[in-house]
Amino acid sequence: MGASLSSLTESESTAANGGRPSLGDIPENCVACVFMYLTPPEICNLARLNRAFRGAASSDSVWDSKLPVNYHQLLDVLPQRENYECVRKKDIFAALSRGVAFDDGNKEVWLDRISGRICMSISTKAMLITSGEDRRHWNWFPTEESRFHVVAYCQQVWWFEVSGSVKFPFPPDIYTLTFRVHLGKFHKRLGRRVCNFEHTHGWDLGPVRYELFTSDGQHSVSEYSTHDSDQDDASAYLKRGGNWIEYKVGEFIVSSSDPATEVRFSMKQIDCTHSKGGLCVDSVSITPSDLKARKRKGVGVSTYQ
């Protein structure tokens, strides 16, 4: 679509365009059929071309194809439960893609704006942390780098364990569960982001074990060490850039959203022969497995959006 299409949209009808056809002559229902094969951002961009495209871009039939098959169940988690039977599907998609917080704001679910598939993030605030209430071992600090604006910081422990669960009507799909962590403590100094590794120790002496279980019997286990050379020297990468990374726990398959799938997950290093500390734990994410390509086998760089 370049200058030629632009000239076609200058008038809404053939008569007003000296007998030449224009995009305004395409029936709205035909445009709607084409829109069903496009992504939501593409539809919104094309809606600006003319009246027929705007009408098609608001069609319930178009946006019904972009919503999950069980979107009615997802509406139940919205804080303001309105009568969505009278709301356009386009507005429902917009509401769900903005993200909906639930469980006291410690969990958030949203639709991916390109594919319309379900994604979820779970704050460490919604998890159980061994010795998490003891400020000698754990504390919390606010940050804009987290979707939930707060992260847990492990200062020093012998028994490290973080676990949680979620029960949700995930639409049928294959999902990947990851933990988002950060080695060292970061802060701003003179407007620049700096990392402090003063308390970072013990993680090179043994791997961290990650597990997930589902209510229908699926189970996955992964082990990673921040000093594992098989992970492309993840420790050196972290210390150079001080970035968040995601550790992949595993995948699980949802074949039906009824009943809702319960997922339990954990991250632990319980070798009590040595202490460990200096690690931030932000959240757990659950996303469709093929939605985001991983840059490394098992470990991928994460940028909060």
Cα–Cα distance for residue pair 247/281, rounded to 1 Å: 11
Residue pair 154/160 in contact by the 8 Å Cβ criterion: yes
End-of-domain residue from the set 36, 65, 94: 65
Cα–Cα distance for residue pair 74/110, rounded to 1 Å: 9
Look at residue 80 and tell me if it is in a domain: no
Considering the domain architecture, whether residues 149 and 228 belong to the same structural domain is answered as: yes
Considering the domain architecture, whether residues 141 and 216 belong to the same structural domain is answered as: yes
End-of-domain residue from the set 65, 91, 122: 65
Considering the domain architecture, whether residues 159 and 279 belong to the same structural domain is answered as: yes
Considering the domain architecture, whether residues 134 and 54 belong to the same structural domain is answered as: no
Of 62-76, 135-149, 236-250, the least confident: 236-250
**Quick one: what percent of the chain has pLDDT higher than 90?**
45
Burial class (CB in 10 A: 0-12, 13-18, 19+), 102: middle
Considering the domain architecture, whether residues 261 and 190 belong to the same structural domain is answered as: yes
User: What number is the average pLDDT over the span 215-221?
Assistant: 96
Considering the domain architecture, whether residues 42 and 176 belong to the same structural domain is answered as: no
Look at residue 106 and tell me if it is in a domain: no
Residue 249, sorted as left (phi over 0), alpha (psi -120 to 50) or beta, turns out to be: alpha
Per-residue pLDDT, 32 = 85
Per-residue pLDDT, 69 = 87
Q: 51 pLDDT band (50/70/90 cuts)?
A: confident
Count of structural domains, the chain: 2
268 lies in which domain range? 111-296
Look at residue 47 and tell me if it is in a domain: yes
